Structure 1
């Protein structure tokens, strides 16, 4: 994969691809008049690779496993794994109640440093839940990389659980790309 392109072009293309307007209820229960349908860029292989090219440099050194959150973080983590050579975990919202009963499919997490991979963060509820469960299983989780951080610009929605959020794009960058198009 070549060096990442300027962020403005990526922001413009992601915004044009996945920003929807209307009435939406977010995972947090909040109501919104806009929604970033991440599956629209995740299902476009060229655009997904462009997002991952920017995300690659956001993965902190010392990361042993990439933890893709169900469901939107999984395709991003899979492509990112291919680019970084780091193994991937597939982190469920809830542990299975059958078979292995695992929360995270893949290598054992105990004693391992995991960087979570998410698609869109607003309040961070899914990331918070996964962090707590992975830490309970013995993992060290200090960072999350995400494609889009739509939380308020000066706020880290995951500070309460000690996570650093490293986004490829922020809502402010997507808004700026929209106004310059």
Structure 2
């Protein structure tokens, strides 16, 4: 496979081992790093808004996992010598969708400071609401927002699993799909125990 080829043949300009700046590999790494950052932020917020150990434990796991994965994604961009931000490239362009593809409620996305539109991301207002909520209200809102977030993330990761050419990145993407789908099921159960349900 071209992406797995050895790039040390002395012809760096023509070496196929490094993805291009507009490749699916690079686009996914950039977009998912931004997507993960919001999940980390919301997880830290809810940690301070509830004493419920189940929610705090889930939030810790999500924050820890996604912060580590974000570091990997940025590390690959550094390794490839590619920018972490491309102002002239719409989010999700690597999937052939520049309009917040993700389907259903998760596809609404949120306008971010840089104009980014990402599947499943919470709006600025929703993040502020989470920061103002306490106890059960914070737990329910977090679980609902994170369910949407995960649904959007799964759609993005499924795209990379199909389109990315770097084997290790494809493997990470498939791992994200499996883990986040499992957490979506867990969060639905946690919401039901609180007399609530996922949105949409």
Judge same fold: TM > 0.5, yes or no: no
Higher Cα Rg: structure 1 or 2? 2
Greater helix proportion: 2
TM-score (norm 2): 0.29
Q: TM-score, normalised by structure 1?
A: 0.31
